[in-house]
Structure 1
Amino acid sequence: MSVALINASLFTGTEKLENKALLVKDGMISSIVKNTEVPEGFHTVDLTGLNVAPGLIDLQIYGSGGKLFGGLPDVEGLAQMEDDLLQQGTTGFMATAGTNSDDVVFKAIDAAKEYRHKARGNYLGLHLEGPYLNVKRKGAHPENFIKKGALAEIKSWVERAEGELKMMTIAPEIQDQDVIDYLYSKDIIISAGHSDASYEEALGFLNKPIQAATHLYNAMPPIHHRQPGLVPAIFKLKPYTSVVADGIHVSFPMIELAKRELGNRLFLITDAVTEANEGIYQHVFTGEKYTMPDGTLSGSCLTMLKAVENCVTKVGITLEEALRMGSTYPAELLKGRKLGLLKVGYDANIIVFNNQFKHHSTYLSGKLI
């Protein structure tokens, strides 16, 4: 079906437009015209008073709706995430699995491969956060499964994944260069996280070739005036950097600082989990956050749209820019995909929401969900 979305505030990823119609045909953005110039053959949807923007993209989420893929990976957990996220306006996500036993890593890889044939279209692949982390910055990751990367092992994982492993969070300072070079050669996004790197170490690997940094401030050395550490190096070299904008994992003034320093390289993730009482990741919901049973802060209870809202209402970022942080910038990190913009020839993945940040509807490849 060819659809024309009219009478909405249109956020394209590059500009805000009023009194324009967004034309969708064959799953793609076909044109943007005046409301009065919609061609014949298009079904018109009047969205007066609503906002239309590129569908949101979450590159780090562990689970949803009581199914924790990140700890107990299976196809059902991926289906739950995909369905739930589409109802929230998130039209792209990387299913994330945390540090775990080799057997669980294999299960995550196998589930990712199997689900590819069943996916509705917003599932982007697998993100492994660990196990190649630094024990000093383990956070909620179990120490007994954290290890240094081995080239033979990571080769076996990548080969088993058959292209489904899209991103890895590692502590680069403890890895051999051949592991990093191999991941980079396979076009896997390498993100520095759960790292205790010094400032000097980080200058040596950020953008060389580590393209990204995972959940800024969390599981990193705090900024110190005599030992600057990883965060100032990120501010200096500006890799694509994710942040959990819930005011709990990171305070809003520190997000404001990060935005000032990183500009269009700062993007939003949820790092969201769900309640679980099995496996090694038993997340307990306290009413505003998730913790491990011992009280260690774990994943968030954010949605991507709530993260956008927080950036606008709590940090003072414009709505246009907050939406870019939730879609355009993570899409840029993905490379080679026509996502994150409402631009001719791009996938018609769209979120519609009101001025109170309540989700109205989602279009995936031009189809109303």
Structure 2
Amino acid sequence: MSDLQAISGARIFDGQGWHDDAALLTEFGHVSGIVRAADVPAHAERVTLAGGMLVPGFVDLQVNGGGGVLFNNDPTLSGIRTICAAHAQFGTTALLPTLITDTVPVNVAAIAAGKAAADAAVPGFIGLHLEGPHLSLARKGTHHPDLIRPMDAEDCARLIAARAELPNLLVTVAAETVEPAMIAALQAAGIVVSIGHSDAGFDVATAAFEAGATMATHLFNAMSQLGNREPGVVGAVLASPHVHAGLIADGIHVHPAAIRAALRAKHGTGHIFLVTDAMSQTGTDLTSFTLNGRTITRANGALRLDDGTLAGADLDMINAVEFMHSTIGLTLDEALRMAALYPAEAMGIADLHGHLGPGALASFVHLDDARRVSATWISGRQVFQV
């Protein structure tokens, strides 16, 4: 059997443009190229699909759980395996299991699980996202207030040490709870710093971005809003050309009009990209679960605490893409880039993820003509099929 595989029978989107009557060539887990179907090498193993489209695998930088597992409740290698497998059925081929604000021992366990997942090469695992505990009480959202605290030198050192154990590390902090010098130290150590759950004003948020933060966590949600005299964190994100921003595109977290306005306002190398902020319910029929001893209920497309506070999202990546395309009105090309290329760029991993150019990992999704996931491949291996 040849190591070269040729997949044809579907339109191919490489991350920039479409290819018709073409074949995707993969070899040793990477993309070799895209050629005309008539030019497939004779020795290639052929896979012929029945229509639809092949698109780059989705990259989700905020995944709290899936498959019945919440990472906070099961910060283990097996928990990460379950989460990654649950999201593969919705087209996600690279993700960051996300730990919501918790105790130091749980953070330590999560980092150890991440190292084990990297060592085991768990399909879809690309690192961790530690969301908190260094957040704003005023913008805590579902994060437990008793566990929120400013960052100290020991916390900073623990994160820097964790980065050396992980392929990628993203941390969400509030601009007002972490000194710019600490943000600079984290960034210098290779950690991607995101501003979120922050009540900072425009100047403080901008200073955090100038210090080395390059991302914002779930734009509009749990952050100071854009005002006429105080533009807040939202204004700082939109005004900072290099800053990327995650977006929960479910029609509940952010109004469609606000999404359209933000897309028009954002310019520069930083883009708005899609995240699911999914919890343990993804891929299951769960109607409730617990986080830090509090019950979260799933109903009417949302996840909420008993007081009505949104607690993550009842969302998967293919539905986020569909929302951006069908409701917001983006071209399918751009909606797909928001789910794949732009988050890969935000994490600095676009050499391997988010597109189907030569040398990229052969991680891609087969969508049918109704844009539903039919099959998912990670690094050249099929991990899901309807």
Show the counterpart of 2:226.
223
Distance 2:94 2:212 in 1: 25
Secondary structure of the structure 1 residue equivalent to 2:98 = strand
Q: Deviations over 1:184-231 (max 9, x none)?
A: 111100000001111122222224311000100000122222322111
Secondary structure of the structure 2 residue equivalent to 1:175 = coil
1:352 and 2:355 aligned: no
After superposing the two structures, state which structure 1 stretch, 212-221 or 283-292, moved more.
283-292
Distance 1:199 1:169 in 2: 17
Contact 1:71–1:281 (CA<8 Å) still a contact in 2?
A: no
Show the counterpart of 2:284.
none
**Pairing partner for 1:114 from 113, 116, 120:** 116
Give runs of aligned pairs for residues 9-28 of structure 1, distance below 5 A: 9-28=11-30
What TM-score comes out, normalization by structure 1 length?
0.95
Show the counterpart of 2:89.
87
Decide whether aligned partners of structure 1 residues 235 and 67 sit closer, same or farther in structure 2, where only a CA change above 3 A counts: same
The runs of 4+ residues in structure 1 deviating greater than 6 Å are none
Decide whether aligned partners of structure 1 residues 278 and 194 sit closer, same or farther in structure 2, where only a CA change above 3 A counts: closer
Show the counterpart of 1:166.
169
Contact 2:93–2:364 (CA<8 Å) still a contact in 1?
A: yes
Show the counterpart of 2:283.
none
Distance 2:188 2:163 in 1: 15
What TM-score comes out, normalization by structure 2 length?
0.91
Distance 1:308 1:354 in 2: 14
1:326 and 2:339 aligned: yes
Show the counterpart of 1:214.
217
Contact 1:52–1:351 (CA<8 Å) still a contact in 2?
A: yes
> What is the CA-CA distance between 1:107 and the residue it aligns to?
1.7
Distance 1:173 1:2 in 2: 52
Q: Deviations over 1:65-84 (max 9, x none)?
A: 21101344222221111111
Secondary structure of the structure 1 residue equivalent to 2:149 = coil
- Root-mean-square deviation (Å): 1.7
Decide whether aligned partners of structure 1 residues 216 and 160 sit closer, same or farther in structure 2, where only a CA change above 3 A counts: closer
Secondary structure of the structure 2 residue equivalent to 1:203 = helix
Decide whether aligned partners of structure 1 residues 208 and 158 sit closer, same or farther in structure 2, where only a CA change above 3 A counts: closer
Distance 1:132 1:311 in 2: 31
Contact 1:70–1:95 (CA<8 Å) still a contact in 2?
A: no
Contact 1:67–1:276 (CA<8 Å) still a contact in 2?
A: no
Show the counterpart of 1:249.
253
Contact 2:183–2:208 (CA<8 Å) still a contact in 1?
A: no
Contact 1:240–1:265 (CA<8 Å) still a contact in 2?
A: yes
Show the counterpart of 1:191.
194
Contact 2:72–2:102 (CA<8 Å) still a contact in 1?
A: no
How many pairs are equivalent? 369
Show the counterpart of 1:272.
278
Amino acid at match of 2:221: N
> What is the CA-CA distance between 1:300 and the residue it aligns to?
0.6
Q: Gapped runs of 5+ residues in structure 1?
A: none
Distance 2:189 2:306 in 1: 37
1:179 and 2:185 aligned: no
Amino acid at match of 2:215: A
Distance 2:375 2:302 in 1: 27
Amino acid at match of 1:171: A
Decide whether aligned partners of structure 1 residues 161 and 230 sit closer, same or farther in structure 2, where only a CA change above 3 A counts: closer
**Pairing partner for 2:323 from 298, 306, 310:** 310
% identical aligned pairs: 33
Amino acid at match of 2:259: I
Distance 1:281 1:29 in 2: 45
Distance 1:48 1:334 in 2: 34
Q: Deviations over 1:222-279 (max 9, x none)?
A: 2222322111221111311100000011122211112112256010000011242363
Secondary structure of the structure 2 residue equivalent to 1:322 = helix
Secondary structure of the structure 2 residue equivalent to 1:277 = strand
